[in-house]
């Protein structure tokens, strides 16, 4: 064995590192390989290409930016703008590494005000795609067209015709790097990522127009807005209009602005955007400050946040990441305080929760007369009879045949035809459950007296599991059940939301929806599954979007699973809902017949058992 001699040659196995006896000599890499390595840092996916090219268009002063895609950007990305354009000489320099018009000296890095400045994007993109650039500066001469072949490295320059501005075409991304190409996500996932990029960059530039065309269809058409608030509504959707509150705050040289939705929450942080001096960033300091501000209010979900932070350019380092998506603050503590305080002020303190107070309580005189009895309207007595369902809620099992818990039927006609047979069926034998239902705990959990102890069943997630299995069986059989609406319901989505819904229309139809794009970002729903209440439609669609927006893949089965899970969660009975004894018995019986009675589709537990021996131990009987 040699410890200090030349490296030993070892047998290699697939994926292992090979140690050669010959020490390789150091060599300078060819420029083509250098560009491909750099492309790995800047160009991760089609959305990265769109981001870099849109930043160039914005820096060029473009007021209209058109983006055209094919196959989610995997086949073609074309961006056309009406910016200042370039001369022929500048165009040839632009596709060389580290050639830029944004900076000239080292000190300029500390005063960067443009979105791009590294001079790496165009040569990196050209090295991994069939790249074409056509530009004109409006000086009266012909435009210049440059084409690059990634396989041979050949570049062709010729005169062309176009008006002032620049058009860049990127075809067959990663064609010459198959190892990178196979790691791209599905066309739908890449398309949604591009929609998110374009929507994000449109937020701080309300006076500019953005347009996106995908496979020949217009997806985004944002006309110039009259003010920043109107642009935010264009991107988030009209639902946010009534909830938008301005963010305003200053601290020394830090200025915080933007908008936050007060009273409107989402299931994810997909509608939170942070801009530093107009640059879209992902920063842990800003995200944590926003979370701290939102968590100060006891509400579920996350508010939409569009935050514009203005700081002295010398107080922030934008040259941290090759893609320029991260920044480093010189004084992150003051930034955090400024953002958190401004957001808390916009959310309104205790006023955000004022709607939780009932009207009788707000109108009641205070303090009460010590000698007078408390008004009955404040705390009306409520007595629940376990043998009958409450009249305040629609029962799980009704004579109309529209039971929320029943075996899946093939058609709605079959539901009506078999209604009598369903009601005539005997109730589940509680002996088969190996336990006895003894009631409800806090109108949320079903209590069962089991031979081994006490069992608690979460009624919401139990019903969710039952409904999920029903929807999935309908999809598997290709026989959805739908209830026609007298008048279609309209759902106006945001820019990103509309792209997600458009890609999921077939899956929504498979579960019972009759949904079509009505116009622009508005969708019309003419039918929906009978278990879903009309006023729950918006919440259901938001859940589908939240679960899909960050999904890496878009396999049909996975999409349908997400839709079934979201629909079951929205249609299931809620907590704090009294149930009759028959309803509880049938729900538990159907739960035990489900595919997984111990966990809901989202993974939450359904059943909790408390052993009788543990109960006796607590009372010192053992």
Instruction: Give yes or no: residues 136 and 242 share one domain.
Output: no
Residue 327 lies in a domain: yes
Q: What is the mean pLDDT of residues 562-583?
A: 87
Say yes or no to pLDDT of 78 above 90: yes
Q: What is the mean pLDDT of residues 461-474?
A: 90
Percent helix, strand, coil in the chain, to 5, is 35, 25, 40
DSSP element (H, E) containing 159: strand 155-160
Q: For residue 337, is pLDDT > 80?
A: yes
Q: Would you say 239 and 539 are in contact if contact means Cβ atoms under 8 Å apart?
A: no
Does the structure show a pLDDT above 70 at 425? no
Q: Alpha carbon of 503 to those of 133, 407, 499: distances in Å?
A: 31, 30, 6
Q: Are residues 408 and 509 in the same domain?
A: yes
247 and 204 within one domain? no
CA atoms within 13 A on the CB side of 453: 13
The answer as to whether 366 is a domain residue is no
Task: Assess whether 162 and 291 both reside in one domain.
Answer: no
What mean pLDDT is reported for the chain?
A: 78
The pLDDT value given to residue 227: 93
What pLDDT is recorded for position 401?
Answer: 42
Distance CA 300, CA 316 (A): 33
Q: Which of 59-68, 259-268, 298-307, 582-591 has the highest mean pLDDT?
A: 59-68
User: Scanning the structure block, which residue is given the tokens 């997630």?
Assistant: 461
Candidate from 8-17, 55-64, 610-619 with smallest mean pLDDT: 8-17
SS3 category, 174: coil
User: Which domain-ending residue is among 222, 251, 277?
Assistant: 222
pLDDT at 34: 65
For the stretch 128-153, what's the b/e string if a residue is b when 16 or more beta carbons lie within 10 angstroms of its beta carbon? bbbbbbbbbbeeeeebbbbbbebeee
Tell me the pLDDT tens digit for each residue of 375-396: 343 334 433 344 444 434 555 5
Within this chain, do residues 519 and 416 fall inside the same structural domain, yes or no?
yes
d(CA 100, CA 78): 21
Q: What is the CATH number of the domain that holds 113?
A: 3.30.565.10
Residue 528 has pLDDT above 80, yes or no: yes
Residues 461 and 594 both lie in one domain: yes
The CATH code of the domain that includes 232 is 3.30.230.10
Query: Between 617 and 430, where is the model more confident?
Result: 617
Selection from 90, 89, 78, 84 nearest residue 167 by Cα:
78
Q: Mean pLDDT over residues 95-115, rounded?
A: 68
Residue matched to tokens 């960067």: 112
pLDDT at 406 over 80: no
pLDDT in tens, 178-219: 878 888 888 888 888 899 899 999 999 999 999 999 998 888
Q: For residues 436 and 447, what is the distance between their CA atoms, to the nearest angstrom?
A: 8
pLDDT the model gives residue 458: 94
Residues 405 and 552 in one domain: yes
In a domain, 9, yes or no: no
| 214 and 236 part of one domain | no
Q: Could you give the C-alpha distances from 154 to 44, 143, 150, in angstroms and in order?
A: 23, 20, 8
Task: Answer yes or no: do 288 and 305 share one domain.
Answer: yes
Mean pLDDT of 520-527: 87
Whole-number pLDDT of residue 315 = 85
Query: What pLDDT sits at residue 326?
Result: 80
Average pLDDT over residues 83-112: 76
Identify the residue with better confidence: 568 or 80.
Answer: 80
pLDDT of residue 103: 62
Q: Average the pLDDT over 123-129 and give the result.
A: 86
Euclidean distance between CA atoms 134 and 168, whole angstroms: 6
Task: Using the 3D structure, point to which of 350, 374, 395 is the last residue of a domain.
Answer: 350
Annotate 47-83 with DSSP letters as a single string.
HHHHHHHHHHHHHTT-SEEEEEEEGGGTSEEEEEE-S
Confidence of residue 353 (pLDDT cuts 50, 70, 90): very low
Is 483 in the same domain as 407? yes
DSSP 437-505: EEEEETTTEEEEEETTEEEEEEHHHHHHHHHHHHHHHHHHHT----EEEEEEEEEE--HHHHHHHHHTH
Range of the structural domain that residue 420 is part of: 382-622
* 356 domain residue, yes or no: no
Residues 46 and 100 in one domain: yes
Mean pLDDT of 297-317: 86
pLDDT at residue 555 above 80? no
Residue of higher predicted confidence among 95 and 552: 95
- Cα-based torsion angle of the residue sequence 286, 287, 289, 292 in order, rounded to the nearest 10 degrees: 180
- Give the integer Cα–Cα distance in Å for 563 and 513: 11
CB atoms within 10 A of CB 56: 21
Does the reported pTM lie above 0.85? no
Is residue 53 situated within a structural domain? yes
Q: What is the pLDDT of residue 219?
A: 86
* Domain contains 92: yes
Q: How many domains does the chain fold into?
A: 3
**Looking at residue 39, what is its pLDDT?**
56
Both 103 and 137 in one domain: the answer is: yes
* Tens digits of residue pLDDT in 155-182: 899 999 999 999 999 999 888 888 788 8
CATH code: domain of residue 457:
3.30.1540.20
Measured distance CA(453)–CA(419) in Å, rounded: 37
The answer, yes or no, to whether residue 483 has pLDDT greater than 80, is yes
**Position with higher pLDDT, 482 vs 390:** 482
End residue of a domain, out of 192, 222, 252: 222
Query: d(Cα 60, Cα 558) in Å, to the nearest integer?
Result: 42
Q: Please check whether residue 595 is in contact with residue 452, taking contact to mean a CB–CB distance below 8 angstroms.
A: no
Better-scored residue on pLDDT, 360 or 464: 464
**4 lies in some domain:** no
532 neighbors 540 (Cβ within 8 angstroms): yes
Give the angle 298-302-306 at the CA atoms, nearest 5°.
125
Is position 504 within any domain?
yes
Give 24 or 274, the one with higher predicted confidence.
274
Q: What is the mean pLDDT of residues 477-481?
A: 83
Residue 427 binned pLDDT confidence (cut-offs 50, 70, 90) = very low
Give the range among 227-231, 413-417, 477-481, 590-594 with minimum mean pLDDT: 413-417
């Amino acid at each position: 064995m040699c410890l200090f001699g030349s490296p030993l040659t070892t047998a290699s196995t697939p994926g292992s590192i090979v140690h050669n006896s010959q020490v390789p000599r150091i060599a300078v890499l060819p420029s083509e390989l250098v560009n491909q390595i750099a492309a790995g840092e800047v160009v991760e996916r089609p959305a990265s290409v769109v981001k870099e090219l849109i930043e160039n268009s914005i820096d060029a002063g473009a007021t209209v930016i058109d983006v055209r895609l094919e196959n989610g950007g995997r086949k073609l990305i074309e961006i056309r703008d009406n910016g200042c354009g370039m001369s022929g000489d500048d165009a040839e320099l632009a596709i060389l590494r580290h050639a830029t018009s944004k900076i000239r000296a080292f000190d300029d890095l500390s005063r960067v005000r443009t979105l791009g400045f590294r001079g790496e994007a165009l040569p990196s993109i050209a090295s991994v795609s069939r790249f074409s650039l056509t530009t004109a500066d409006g000086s009266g001469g012909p435009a210049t067209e440059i084409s690059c072949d990634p396989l041979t490295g050949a570049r062709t320059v010729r005169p062309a015709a176009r008006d002032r501005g620049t058009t860049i075409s990127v075809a067959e991304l990663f064609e010459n790097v198959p190892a990178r190409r196979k790691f791209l996500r599905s066309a739908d996932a890449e398309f949604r990522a591009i929609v998110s990029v374009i929507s994000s960059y449109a937020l701080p530039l309300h006076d500019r127009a953005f347009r996106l065309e995908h496979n020949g269809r217009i997806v985004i058409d944002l006309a110039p807005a009259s003010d920043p608030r109107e642009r935010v509504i264009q991107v988030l959707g009209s639902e946010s209009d009534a909830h938008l509150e301005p963010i305003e705050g200053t601290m020394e040289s830090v200025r915080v602005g933007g908008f936050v939705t007060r009273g409107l929450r989402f299931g994810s942080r997909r509608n939170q955007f942070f801009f530093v001096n107009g640059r879209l960033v992902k920063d842990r300091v800003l995200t944590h400050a926003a979370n701290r501000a939102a968590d100060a209010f006891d509400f579920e979900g996350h508010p939409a946040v569009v935050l514009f932070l203005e700081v002295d350019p010398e107080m922030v380092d934008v040259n941290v990441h090759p893609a320029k998506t991260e920044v480093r603050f010189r004084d992150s503590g003051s930034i955090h305080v400024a953002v958190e305080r401004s957001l808390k002020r916009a959310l309104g303190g205790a006023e955000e929760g004022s709607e939780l107070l009932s009207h009788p309580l707000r109108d009641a005189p205070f303090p009460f007369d010590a000698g007078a009895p408390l008004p009955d309207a404040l705390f009306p007595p409520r007595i629940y009879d376990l043998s009958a369902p409450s009249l305040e809620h629609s029962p799980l099992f009704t004579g109309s045949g529209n039971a929320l818990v029943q075996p899946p039927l093939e058609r709605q006609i079959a539901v009506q035809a078999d209604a009598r047979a369903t009601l005539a069926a005997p109730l589940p034998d509680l002996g088969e459950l190996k336990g006895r239902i003894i009631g409800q705990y806090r109108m949320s959990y079903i209590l069962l007296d089991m031979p081994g102890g006490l069992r608690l069943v979460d009624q919401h997630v139990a019903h969710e599991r039952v409904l999920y299995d029903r929807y999935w069986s309908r999809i598997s059989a290709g026989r959805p059940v739908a209830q026609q609406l007298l008048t279609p319901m309209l759902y106006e989505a945001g820019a990103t939301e509309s792209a997600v819904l458009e890609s999921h229309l077939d899956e929504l139809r498979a579960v019972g929806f009759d949904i079509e794009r009505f116009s622009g970002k508005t969708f019309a729903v003419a039918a929906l599954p009978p278990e879903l209440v009309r006023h729950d439609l918006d919440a259901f669609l938001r859940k589908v979007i939240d679960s899909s927006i960050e999904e890496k893949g878009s396999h049909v089965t996975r999409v349908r699973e997400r839709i079934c899970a979201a629909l079951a969660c929205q249609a299931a009975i809620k907590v704090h809902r009294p149930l009759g004894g028959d309803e509880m018995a049938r729900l538990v019986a159907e739960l035990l017949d489900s595919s997984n009675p111990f966990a809901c589709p989202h993974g939450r537990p359904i059943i909790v058992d408390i052993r009788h021996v543990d109960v006796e131990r607590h009372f010192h009987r053992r």
